[in-house]
Amino acid sequence: MRSVDLLVATTNAGKLAELQAAVRELPVRIISLQDLNGTPEIVEDGSTFEQNALKKARSLSDFSGYLTLADDSGLEVDALGGEPGIHSARYSGEGANDRRNNEKLLRSLNGVPRDRRAARFVCVLALCAPAVLGRKEWVFRGECEGEIMFAPKGENGFGYDPIFFYPPLGRTFAELDRETKGKFSHRGQALKSLVEMLPGIFQG
């Protein structure tokens, strides 16, 4: 199988590391946004994870000329009507970071009992070949059900991992090592589907 350049449209080190681990057996050369100059700023104004992921993948594949992988992912909390959802990364407003987002979410669930703290992580990966290569698109979705803790626990992972409790393992995602998390997480599921299809895409 020929080697393929793949632009990964993220500046999140955790996401990049998870992808690199997932494709380590394939002849893929990962290109990050830091490897490019003048990348356009893309406004994520879609109403779904799929719309946002596809917009990023299309825009950056056309800009770079590379096969491009983009994702949109987030946390849906039932007691909050599905929020923060597509706004997960910027849930706490301007200057949002993981700590502030987690703190706001816990405040929003103050007084909500454990049996009403159901939540799920959602990840949508969009893979796009640029227009110069005939524009082709693929979408992969993964979900993982769990519940929101009353306080953070664990030092691993990123995002909402410290407050997302995964009942089958009895731990938060932040208490899992990367390999274990990758077997069960929303992103792990989406990446598994991607990796299974990549050889056929490369040969095509």
pLDDT digits (tens, 9 = 90+) for 92-151: 999 999 999 999 999 999 999 999 999 999 999 999 998 777 789 999 999 999 999 999
Task: List Cβ neighbours of 82 (8 Å cut-off, separation of 6 or more).
Answer: 76
Give Cα separations from 7 to 45, 66, 69, 125, 142 (angstroms).
22, 6, 6, 13, 21
What is the pTM (predicted TM-score) of this model? Answer: 0.89
Cα–Cα dist 178/84, whole Å: 24
Dihedral, CA atoms, 144, 42, 64, 21, nearest 10 degrees?
-20
- The residue that leads in pLDDT, 118 or 37, is 118
Q: Which residue carries 């993981």 as its tokens?
A: 98
Cα–Cα dist 142/188, whole Å: 7
Q: Span 176-204, mean pLDDT?
A: 86
What topology is assigned to 4-203 in CATH? Maf protein (3.90.950)
Active site members: 72
Per-domain residue ranges of the chain: 4-203
Q: Which residue carries 């992808």 as its tokens?
A: 19
